[in-house]
């Protein structure tokens, strides 16, 4: 892990396309601004972990469970 010290309005670069800037520091809270191309998805880690866990759960569904979901949603053809 790389640990850096930055002051307000100072930035770090991730590659050529991503810039992270310290916007504000209040007590133990730090606000960051992130500039990245529109195709780059940016999530808070706790939200990313939930999405990942849901994807793992959904990938474990059986064909039978998919059929039940299809029945509930109806055939949209």
* pLDDT tens digits along 43-69: 999 999 999 998 888 787 788 887 888
| pLDDT at position 17 | 97
- Spatial separation of the C-alpha atoms in residues 6 and 9, rounded to whole Å: 8
Q: Percent helix, strand, coil in the chain (nearest 5)?
A: 35, 25, 40
Higher local confidence (pLDDT), 46 or 76: 46
Structure confidence at residue 76 (pLDDT): 60
Task: Answer whether residue 77 shows pLDDT above 70.
Answer: no
pLDDT tens for 1-27 read 999 999 999 999 999 999 999 999 999
| Angstrom distance (rounded) from CA 11 to CA 19 | 7
């Amino acid at each position: 892990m790389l640990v850096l010290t930055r002051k307000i309005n100072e930035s770090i670069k991730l590659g050529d396309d991503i810039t992270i800037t310290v916007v504000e520091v209040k007590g133990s809270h730090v606000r960051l601004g992130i500039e990245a191309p529109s195709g780059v998805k940016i999530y808070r880690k706790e939200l990313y972990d939930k999405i990942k866990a849901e994807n793992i759960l959904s990938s474990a569904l059986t064909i039978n469970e998919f059929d039940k979901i299809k029945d509930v949603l109806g055939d949209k053809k």
